Amino acid sequence: MRSRTAARWFSLFAGVIVVASATMAGPATAQVPPVAPAPTIPLPPQLDAGFYLPPAHVVAATAPGAIIAVRQVNVADFGLLPLDVDAWQVSYRSNNSRDEAIPAVATLIKPRGQAVQPRKLLSVQLAEDSTAGYCAPSYALQHLSVAPLAGQIVVPAEFLFAQAALAQGWAVVVPDHQGPNSAYAAGPLAGRITLDGIRAATSFAPLEAGPTAPVGLYGYSGGSIATGHAAELHALYAPELNIVGAAEGGVGADLGAALRMSDNQATSGLVFAAIIGLTREYPDFAAYLDQRLHPLGKTLTALKSPLCVQYQSMLLPFLDLTGMIAADGDPPLEAPVAAMLDDTRMGKTVPDMPMFVWHSAWDEILPLHATDTLVDTYCRDPATSLTYTRDHASEHIVAEVVGGPAALLWLRDRLDGIPATPGCTINDAGTMAATPGALDFLGDTLAAKFATLFGMPYGSR
């Protein structure tokens, strides 16, 4: 009897150890499904539910960041000019801001030049800034995608910064950080999807960026929302990831400040799209607007919901955003609105990796004072390592063009293992294009891209 009892206890103990070991191992040791071939003609998410929306029970039974399905894809500039790279899409499990299981998709790209193994990895959060699935990066970056013709011009344009990383020999992961419902501006959701996308990327052996690979984060404008929240969530949500630095510009630090700044301005069309996106992640906020939004606002919601960023921004600017809400007082102070704005505001925790932050002093979309406040919040922590530059010769769009190369140079040092400057360094620059080495870096990137037209693969330095 004693021997049988002991045997049962031993079996139970061994089972617990096996389950615990599997749980601790996480997605890095998970079995990756077979790689499907690239589709001849890419389909937008709305017509490709088998890949983008796996069964809910499958998603729920999968660990965050573990891959559910994978296929090869062909990526291209503006849907027309194919790139000579290896690329895949992965469908994986992530969590929404209420920690409920959701499906997510990311694009993994590897240059064909030689690299030290494991490859360094850059997670590039492109500014989708749209409320329709066909505007997502995973579709917009594919060869023969119609998204650039249908108004998604930001993702293909920003893709040049991802190609600059490929020219360095780094691997790249581009998450669809707005999630399956195109929840534009929902930062905590985007942060989780970004971190789980890195988990998926580092578990996918063909990418050659293993679980210990150094990882950088890059994002501007709408991409800064995902990047900033991922940086803040890293220590608690995905501490096993070796994230060595995060660069974010044109920072969406406080959506309430952006709302007030855009009221009755040319940028109100874009901010109204963010309002639509946020209703898809915050049910109480959605119910509030459903009850309080004037008929004009509801009509605009129906008209704008199927649009990508170019047409979202152009359709009926100069909107009185708060005036379309029948509130008892100031709409941003109403409880459902205030709760959403508080949840999406950056600065609740201090990122545990070095940060590079930049912002135009004359930004017309995302207010400078909100980024100043965020930096002040971070810099109260003596352990913070942060470089912040305010660019005085740009507006929102130009600031990425002149600041992006400086940010990538800074990330290159972090990925190469060069320690960041401790403490906070705050600069006011005439133009970040004058950052030492920035123009050379931009020139090298454009030269590498030009060389690919003649058969030189990215990463052959």
130, 145, 182, 221: the active-site residue = 221
Structure-token match 């240059």, residue found = 111
Catalytic (active site) residue 97: no
363, 385, 391, 394: the active-site residue = 363
Pick from 260, 165, 195: nearest CA to 27: 195
137 burial (CB, 10 Å; 0-12 / 13-18 / 19+) is buried
* Cβ neighbours of 294 (radius 10 Å): 13
Structure-token match 């399956």, residue found = 180
229, 234, 359, 396: the active-site residue = 396
Helix axis angle for 438-452 and 396-415, nearest 10°, is: 90
Phi then psi for residue 39, to 5 deg, are -70, 145
Catalytic (active site) residue 221: yes
Q: Which 8-state DSSP code applies to residue 40?
A: S
Q: Which 8-state DSSP code applies to residue 421?
A: P
Catalytic (active site) residue 138: no
What gap in Å lies between CA 97 and CA 300, rounded to an integer? 26
Q: In what order do the strands lie in the sheet with 171-175?
A: 35-36, 67-72, 86-95, 101-110, 171-175, 121-125, 215-220, 243-249, 355-360, 385-391, 423-429
Is residue 39 helix, strand or coil? coil
Strand partners, 70: 35, 90
**Max Cα distance, the chain (Å):** 83
Exposure b/e, 34-64, CB count within 10 A at least 16 = b: eeeebbeebbbbeebeebbbbeeeebeebbb
Read off the tokens for 170: 């780094």
How wide is the angle at C-alpha 177 spanned by C-alphas 370 and 173, nearest 5°?
110
Alpha carbon distances (Å) from 105 to 37, 97, 131, 162 = 16, 17, 16, 17
SS3 content of the chain, % helix, strand, coil (to 5): 45, 15, 40
* E-only strand ranges, 98-177: 101-110, 121-125, 171-175
**Cis check: omega of the bond before 27, within 30 degrees of 0:** no
Which residues are the active-site residues?
221, 363, 396
